[in-house]
Amino acid sequence: MNVKTAHKTIGYLATGGTISSTPASAGAGVTPSLTAEDLIAAAHPETDGVAFVAEQISQLASSSFDFRLLRTLHGRVTHLAREGVDGIVITQGTDTLEETAFFFNSVWDRTTPVVLTGAMRNPGEIGADGARNLRTAVAVASDPAFVGLGPLVVMNDEVFAAGAVRKAHTSAVDAFVSTAGTAIGMVTEGTPRLFSTPRRSDPQRYGAGDPKVALYRCSLGDSDDILRMIEDGDFDGLVIEGFGGGHVPAWQMPTIERIAGRMPVVLSSRTGQGSVLERTYGFPGSETDLRRHGLVPSGTLNGLQARILLWILLSRSAGPQEIREAYAAC
Ligand code: DAS
């Protein structure tokens, strides 16, 4: 693409995932292999008036993402925004896309649109969705209506706020759903339309640390064995996905109380949607009991989101008050 004749410049960071996955030999399982340039060529004919500044950041399945990679992505996205691109698109595997999206939603403090997308079907499958998702993501990232809204996720023609999206199906092309009700926009015939403006809390800053944050999910009849392993491990923080409104088995309370005496423990719900309760139930292991023992309610954040936020906070050694305030603002 000739940059001089293009109307928009889009920064594009490719990281791997199903969108780039092909088989190494006939019949073999697909693995990330197509490059940023290959994906642009498939999604965007030269006539579209978009110039790309493309970079291959990794060639990974997103199950192997870590916080180091998120820092790298944030650094590159910040660089592109400073260079003055109109928007930025990141492609990645869908398995952890909601966590990368929430990370960017938490830390992005500029108006340049950052749009994440991927694919549920690899390029060799009938009805592959990758090229279309990349193309619609570029349309959203180029559209002035989406400037200053915070990071976004575009999948299956729908536009989601990056702070309120999750993967809710193993294989369907409409696997991504909003945790806040509905998508905030839609792309039809290549034209994005914005329906509502997402609410965002103030951007967070991460620090130099790389804290270990455990995520424990409650399940019927479970002992406190896993929690005791967390207590004995070298974790810096814990997120508990409690039952329903935010409840744990009564017999886990002594262990949870000890852990909360040593590290921040955040209470979220395994339902994955809605605010964790704060003052309804009073039985042992209820949300009021857990709060009395120092647990921090996660607000509307599900366990995965609450864990990313705790990592951000602990990476800069945030204290108990700062941690409480950060979740209260969500
Ligand atoms: N290949 C998986 C991943 O990298 C799944 C996907 O991309 O949809 O997350």
Residues 107, 312 contacting (CB under 8 angstroms): yes
Only one residue has tokens 């995520």, namely 215
Residue 123 pLDDT > 60: yes
Residue 269 pLDDT > 50: yes
Residue 305 Cβ inside 6 Å of ligand 1? The answer reads: no
Q: How many CB atoms lie under 10 A from the CB of residue 83?
A: 11
Query: What's the 263 CA to ligand 1 centre distance in angstroms?
Result: 33
The proportion of the chain whose per-residue pLDDT surpasses 70, expressed as a percent, equals 98
Cα–Cα distance list, 255 to 65, 220, 231, 232 (Å): 31, 17, 8, 11
Strand locations in 165-303 (E) = 165-167, 176-178, 185-188, 191-194, 213-217, 237-242, 265-269, 296-297
Closest ligand 1 atom to residue 96 Cα is 9
Residue 330 has what pLDDT?
87
Query: What's the 17 CA to ligand 1 centre distance in angstroms?
Result: 4
Token code pair at residue 108? 């992005």
Closest CA to 270 of 323, 219, 230, 324: 219
Burial of 163 (0-12, 13-18, 19+ CB in 10 A): buried
Residue 181 has what pLDDT?
86
Residue 2 has what pLDDT?
42
Name the pLDDT band for 6 (thresholds 50, 70, 90). Answer: low
